[in-house]
A and B are shown apart, each in its own frame.
Chain A
Amino acid sequence: MTKAISRRHAFVAGFALSALIAASPALAQKKNGPGVTDTEIKIGNIMPYSGPASAYGVIGKTEQAYVDMLNAAGGVNGRKIKFISYDDAYSPPKAVEHARKLVESDEVSFIFNPLGTPSNTAILKYMNARKVPHLFLATGATVFGQASVNPWTMGWQPNYQSEGRIYAKYVADKYPNAKIGILYQNDDFGKDMVKGFKDGLGAKTSLIVAEAPYEISDPTIDSQIVKLKAAGVDLLYNSTTPKFAAQSIKKLAEIGWKPVHVLGSVSASVGSVIKPAGFDNSQGIISASYAKDPDDPQWKDDAGYKKWLAFMDKWAPAADKNNSLNVYAYNAMQTLEAVLRQAGDDLTRENILKQAQSLKDVKLDMLLPGIALNTSATDYYPIEQMQLIRFEGQRWVTFGEIIKGEIGGK
């Protein structure tokens, strides 16, 4: 009798065990790809800590702080993260050198959130030829989400053309007879935003009466503003980076010109743009956002916001909480964490990429409610939704519904 029972027990135990193993293949065996050991995973990053784009270097610093936080809690899946970040000073040849160093000398598992369109364009072919995941690029250039062409490269933030289309939809709806003027930065960022806007307007591009580009090397954009005003513009589509956005808002106030002002999300930061330009001068500006604004009191009791605040207080106390780049860094790192957790113990490069392609409705602490990350083997744009916002009083107020940009998914 006992023999029968024990054999049955053994059979059941064996069956249960194999079922367990079959159900969670990740636990079956640890698979460490390049740059991964049982206790450590090496992740590479390239940021402009010096040079003309050094304002964005703060993203890298906050990302390091997040890594410190993860490591203090034991890392992810028992592995501590070694975050290796190099300064390319926004120079493509330097970016190439650093990418090669990370892959060939430091032997990282993958490169995460490298910043800047020129730098990423320079390393794109290399990363894909080497089959190293090139994930969650810190640039909204639409070209970086083409899954069929560059399968190892994935964007992260809403791409610029999507955003342009979102504004175009709104403008065509609410201001069908506007005289539109475009102020844009004469580089890939500005031009991408303008292309999306024009594509979105479709037949209504005839509403555009004037365009004024400027170079990053221009000290002021006063001349462009004067030109646009003289052309009779009453709706300004402003595709500028923070410093020039602040200048344009100030200049508009100085010459007493009050067009409908649509501002790209890159420059919607209260700390970096609105405050220097002046709250009074910024009333009524329309923009879009996908992340929570740290200066918005409506999130005071929000669980996600409180987590971010706690992180900033403990791990990046010297960082400026008004700087939306610190929210960006947090969101990007949470995405990374989600991918790593999803990958479990199978940390080969192929699987990491696969997990990045399998983000389903992933919510982050500092994303606006209703916005989530979604990717697939053909959809390499994790965030495609944005919310329109208008500046009232001392903060951005959301209005309308969450809109999905039309590019992406292809």
Chain B
Amino acid sequence: MTEPMRPTPSPQAPAAPPRAASQMNWQVGLAVLVAAAILPFFLKNFVVFQITMVMIYAIAIIGLNLLTGFNGQFSLGHAAFYAIGAYTAAILMDKFDVSYVWTLPLAGLVSFVFGYLFGLPALRLEGIYLALATFGLSVAAPQLLKLSPFEHWTGGVQGIVLMKPDAPFGLPLNSDRWLYFFTLAVGALMTWMALNLVNSRTGRAMMAIRDNPIAARALGVDAPRYKALTFGVSAMYTGVAGALGAIVIAFVAPDSFTLLLSVSLLVGLVVGGVGWIPGAIFGALFVSFVPNIAESLSKGLSGAFYGAILLVVIYLAPSGVAGLFRAAMIRLKTKKAQGRTA
């Protein structure tokens, strides 16, 4: 018995899809980069470490944004790709003595392959079903990492302890600052790549598939190919973030990559704003610091406070920081237009 039903909803695009100019003004981007470059010299090492982790989560969130925000494929499973990247880096460094720098592209490659492979069966899944499948992936990942046949490589439940790298060429930077700059460079590069991607033809194809898959197909967009590729690219971003995370924390264990991480990435995505690349940094700031704030408010009820803050943010900004930014842009443009006609 078939019933006419509403099409299963995919994550909706914001009212006015952002155009190239409002994704990120390159002047703003440059200013941010310069500010970020001098920041670590004024901060304690521990804070530098924290901000490095924020940047790492931001890269992971960009990955999720590409898949969910720009391509409309829901994923609750990105902790698995983060873990794949992290373990690839850890095993390469621990067992094969590969320098940490080279682990990044290799981790990215491995994650891409896994992402693409998962994206293939995911082609047939929509909305809530894809959410479930990725949910299952996230929950199963730690268990897979603990499997005894792989223990020799993965360290099983004990994980792998790594050495934190020092600055190369005898640069007068301590380990924290060096890793900060390293992450900043990688992050800037990957953000630039992502911006180029979404502003390109491929990006438009991705967004078309999100907004109206049937129309897109009617216009000749090869949906399956783009969807699977996007899954791969998204996994690659999160995998590289995972590798960076492994290097900075200097430790990987199955307990580090649970469903909680997937959920955090998703929360970060929504708070930052779907479909807006710079939103990732706001989302990353939220998921890194708000739990600490909640804990300082009340140890026993830290979860409740975190949830309450999250709800408040969602109510005030249902489309995340991106929504606020867009509203501000519109008001600015309206004022400018009014200024001209006045």
Contacts and interface: CB of A to CB of B under 8 A. Distances in A.
Interface string A75-98: 000000000011101111100110
B201 interface: no
B204 interface: no
B49 A92 contact: no
B46 A105 contact: yes
Interface residues of B, number: 28
Nearest to A217: B143
Interface stretch (B4-12, B227-235, B246-254): B246-254
A186 B300 CA distance: 29
B260 interface: yes
B136 interface: no
A92 B251 contact: yes
Contact of B159 (A87, A92, A96, A126): A92
A121 B251 contact: yes
Given A51-B260, A118-B159, A90 B46 contact: no
A265 B53 CA distance: 39
A124 B161 contact: yes
A86 B159 CA distance: 23
B250 A92 contact: no
Nearest to A215: B143
B158 A121 contact: yes
Chain B residues touching A, majority SS? helix
Interface in B240-281: 245, 249-251, 253, 255-256, 258, 260
A68 interface: no
Interface in A31-90: 49-51, 85-87, 89-90
B223 interface: no
Interface string B115-145: 0000000000000000000000001000100
Interface residues of A, number: 30
B45 interface: yes
A86 B146 contact: no
Contacts of A186: 146, 157
A104 B157 CA distance: 29
A320 interface: no
A122 B253 contact: yes
A87 B303 CA distance: 11
Contacts of B159: 92, 118, 121-122
A97 B53 contact: yes
A86 B295 contact: yes
B299 interface: yes
Contacts of B253: 92, 118, 121-122
Contacts of B50: 97
B251 A96 contact: yes
A121 B157 CA distance: 11
Nearest to B245: A93
A42 to B, nearest CB: 15
B23 interface: no
B157 A188 contact: yes
Interface string B152-185: 0000011101000000000000000000000000
A118 B145 CA distance: 14
Contacts of A187: 146, 157
B138 to A, nearest CB: 12
Nearest to A191: B157
Nearest to B46: A104
Contact of A91 (B45, B47, B256): B256
Contacts of A121: 158-159, 161, 251, 253
Given A49-B299, A49-B302, A124-B161, A90 B45 contact: no
14 contacts: A91-B255, A92-B251, A93-B251, A93-B256, A97-B49, A97-B53, A100-B46, A117-B158, A118-B256, A121-B251, A124-B161, A125-B250, A187-B157, A188-B158
Interface of B: 44-47, 49-50, 53, 139, 143, 146, 157-159, 161, 245, 249-251, 253, 255-256, 258, 260, 295, 299-300, 302-303
A-B complex: 5 closest residue pairs judged by Cβ atoms: A104-B46, A122-B251, A118-B255, A187-B157, A92-B256
Given A87-B302, A92-B249, A122-B159, 17 more contacts: A87-B299, A90-B255, A92-B159, A93-B251, A93-B256, A96-B249, A96-B250, A97-B53, A105-B47, A118-B256, A121-B161, A122-B253, A126-B250, A186-B157, A187-B157, A188-B158, A217-B143
